[in-house]
Chain A
Amino acid sequence: MHRPVSEEALRAEDVRKTYRSRGGPAVEALRGVSLAFRRGERIALLGRNGAGKTTFLRIASTLLIPTSGRIEVFGHDVIETPEKVRPLIAVVPQEGKPFFHLTPREQVYCYLRARGFPKGVAKARTEEALDRMGLVEVADRLSVTLSGGQKQRAMVATVMATEAPLMFLDEPTIGLDPFARRAVWNVLRELTRKGATVLLTTHYLDEAEALSERLYIVEEGRILFEGTAERAKRQIGGTLRVSIQNGGEHKELFASFGQTVAEGTSLYVITEPERIHEVMDVALREHLSATVGPVTLEEAFLTIVGRLIDEE
């Protein structure tokens, strides 16, 4: 098994990618992405569809050549020496499926063997991965007969069993039920405790919050935000959200307390704890029903990305 020598798992500098197609306009998928993370970190890339997350992941995992920029994995140049990077990484591709005419047990075992694991190790790791991903009962059924969630779990099990030093997971929990998602989270946490590094993309913001130690918000090929989920939430002007039913028509009354967002007939006010009483007083005076809750990462994400869209 290859072991990395660098403590920096990944470093990307000004990575750009422009897709050109005959007759069509050039599409700038990445416009200068720079980021870095250390060995053992769990990092999430968040962004809307088409923001550039998968493009970055594919470049970092040696599957796509960037238009310009530099990217290193454990000190090895991804563009110049992909053969040195590949033993150190494993990828769950977006919408990837296991071989339909292999069983999950065969799928995981065969992949480990193709990666060079000895038979005994491959067998032991296969059983462990199937157990962790809750696939033991269907381990000997052809994947074609499995549900969508079971197929996805088989893909995740295949990659997790490698215990590669750096794992790229492109929407790994898509289609999984809440229990299966948590099983994946637990395995990822355990792998990073052992020293593996995880870079994942996800549209589930609760997942990003629960799982990642740091996150990057990507929009139109640029990084808009880097930091913890808490920091993202603090950036939007408050840590509490007041939901006011039928408050949409009273937006101006609440504007001085913080950021206001009207959605349907409801109004959301993002504010600080010390101003909650004032907000509730105004709501009661206007005979409006209001509830208080913490700001979610989803609201932070919508605000951060929405700000850019408004600017443009």
Chain B
Amino acid sequence: MAFGLRWAGSGAFLATEIRVQLHEWLAILTGTLTPGALLVFVAVLAPDLLAVTVIGALVYSMFLIGQRVLNEAAYIRIDHKLNELYHASPLSPEGYFVGIAAGMLVAYLPPSLVLLVILEILYPLSLLAWLVLAGCLLAVWAVSATIGYVVSTLFKDMKTIWPYSALLTNLFGILPPVFYPLRVLPDAWRSVVLVLPTSAATALVNAAAGLETISADETILAALALGLEAIALFAFGIYWARRTARER
């Protein structure tokens, strides 16, 4: 029980969430559509950027999983009141948060696996690049799932939440250099975008794969920013789940 955390029942709740998502298999399949469509555009317009775009699509897919956490947590709280069923039970609030976050990760991983296969065919990665990719994707999931969960607790109406989901996706997934290389940005902007989790992850993986050149300072900045954001935000997510399990 490190830090007083309790995980009893969280595995079963995670399995519940996976089971719920698997019944919605069409949503899982369509999870590949947005990044897949972008790949088609890039393949036609700038085929030399295709490998960068596939890595961007992987990071973007992982960020989208966090947005699914937002929608799922909000839906079962606002529409179904199931959070009350679970919060008034031995399942701890942290188990509830991690159950939803990990449930979305497991259920929505298959589209990302398709992208990994495409990447391996297009541009085989070294072992180091694979490890960097795995670590970065995990960090992006931790950041995005926490943001999604926290935002889901702030509103009392689903329609109010939808614009925030779209806003977050655009702010973190489309505007910064995720689908396009860092090198197209002016120098002054590079440090700014490297503290954003999605563009930091993309830059680190691209650099490890040899698709982009970033300086040692920039590598340290991006790695530190991403690592700290992931750990700090996920810890905050656990704190927030415990705080909001009871209304004030």
Contacts and interface: CB of A to CB of B under 8 A. Distances in A.
Interface of A: 2, 58, 61-65, 82-83, 86-87, 89-102, 106, 110-111, 113-116, 142, 155, 158-159, 162, 168
B248 interface: yes
Given A64-B246, A91-B85, A115-B9, A83 B92 contact: yes
Interface in B5-54: 6, 8-10, 12-13, 15-16, 19-21, 23-24
A89 B9 CA distance: 16
A101 B23 CA distance: 6
Interface residues of B, number: 31
B81 A114 contact: no
Contacts of A99: 16, 20, 76, 80, 82
B88 A86 contact: yes
A159 B82 CA distance: 12
A96 B88 contact: no
Contacts of B10: 114
Contacts of A113: 9, 12, 15-16
Given A65-B247, A87-B90, A102-B16, 19 more contacts: A58-B84, A61-B84, A61-B88, A63-B247, A65-B246, A65-B248, A90-B89, A91-B85, A92-B85, A93-B85, A99-B16, A99-B76, A100-B80, A110-B16, A111-B89, A114-B13, A115-B90, A142-B23, A162-B89
A114 B88 contact: no
Interface string B219-248: 000000000000000000000000001111
Given A58-B247, A61-B88, A62-B87, A96 B16 contact: no
Nearest to B87: A63
A97 B82 CA distance: 7
Contacts of B20: 99, 101-102
Contacts of B90: 2, 86-87, 115-116
A115 B91 contact: yes
Contacts of B6: 83
Contacts of A62: 87-88, 246
Contacts of B88: 61-63, 86, 89-91, 168
Nearest to B99: A114
Contacts of A87: 89-90
19 contacts: A64-B246, A82-B246, A83-B6, A86-B88, A96-B80, A96-B82, A98-B80, A99-B20, A99-B76, A102-B19, A110-B13, A110-B15, A114-B10, A114-B16, A115-B9, A115-B91, A142-B23, A159-B85, A168-B88
Nearest to B13: A114
B130 interface: no
Contacts of B157: none
A63 B8 CA distance: 19
A272 B191 CA distance: 87
Contacts of A96: 80-82, 84-85
Nearest 7 Cβ contacts at the A-B interface: A113-B12, A101-B23, A110-B16, A93-B84, A93-B81, A96-B81, A91-B88
Contact of A106 (B19, B86, B87, B246): B19
Contacts of A86: 87-90
Given A99-B20, A102-B16, A102-B20, A111 B85 contact: yes
A112 B84 CA distance: 15
B82 A114 contact: no
Most A Cβ at <10 Å: residue of B81, B85, B247 = B85
A97 B9 contact: no
A116 B6 CA distance: 12
Interface in B65-90: 76, 79-82, 84-90
Nearest to A113: B12
Given A64-B247, A93-B81, A116 B19 contact: no
Indicate the member of B10, B88, B248 with the most A CB atoms within 10 Å. B88
A97 B79 contact: yes
B7 to A, nearest CB: 11
A160 to B, nearest CB: 13
B102 to A, nearest CB: 14
Nearest to B24: A101
Contacts of A82: 246
A94 B82 CA distance: 10
Interface string B92-109: 100000000000000000
A99 B83 CA distance: 11
A63 B16 contact: no
Contact of B12 (A89, A95, A114): A114
A56 B140 CA distance: 41
Contacts of B82: 93, 96-99
A110 B12 CA distance: 7
A189 B87 CA distance: 26
Contacts of B86: 111, 114
B85 A158 contact: yes
A158 B10 CA distance: 18
